[in-house]
Amino acid sequence: MLTAAAAILGAATVVGFFSFDIDSDALETCKENLEELEITTAELVQADVRQLVLSHSRFTKLFDTVVLNPPFGTKCNQGIDLEFVRVALELSHGSVYSLHKTSTRPHILKTAGRWGLEVQVLARLRYDLPSTYKFHKKKSVDIEVDVIKFTHK
């Protein structure tokens, strides 16, 4: 849905805009949403974006804005959310907008400060996260999520 929202709001660069995901099911859902909305300007790329930046320098600083919904970086994947933010900062010469668990806000703000970034919490939302992993014990869980803007100084 972030890809569709970006398209509706007019996201574009000289090459159009890209949506990267490692999950083929997520990309298929994205494709269906874009077709339903008659959006044809998105390039859907199945890739681990963390490896993509390392192996394809043509994407470095290519984008004005990057919007991401990284894995939350708690429990099994501690720190992965900030790994995705770091990659997004490599892709963007402007701003990065990212979703993070509100409970991790102090750590994220501290890390962004160490990285020399301007950082702003834009919104605090409630999100119903469905069970998608084996370690999830409930059918879904209501969590608090921050929308955070990171900008190069």
What number is the average pLDDT over the span 56-70?
81
In the chain, alpha helices (H): 2-8, 24-36, 49-55, 80-91, 105-114
- pLDDT digits 0-9 by tens, 19-33: 788 888 888 988 898
pLDDT of residue 131: 72
Percent of the chain scoring above 90 in pLDDT: 31
Question: Residue range 77-105: average pLDDT?
Answer: 91
Helices (H) and strands (E) in the chain, counts: 5, 6
Mean pLDDT of the chain: 82
Is the pLDDT higher at 84 or at 137? Answer: 84
> 0.95 exceeded by the pTM?
no
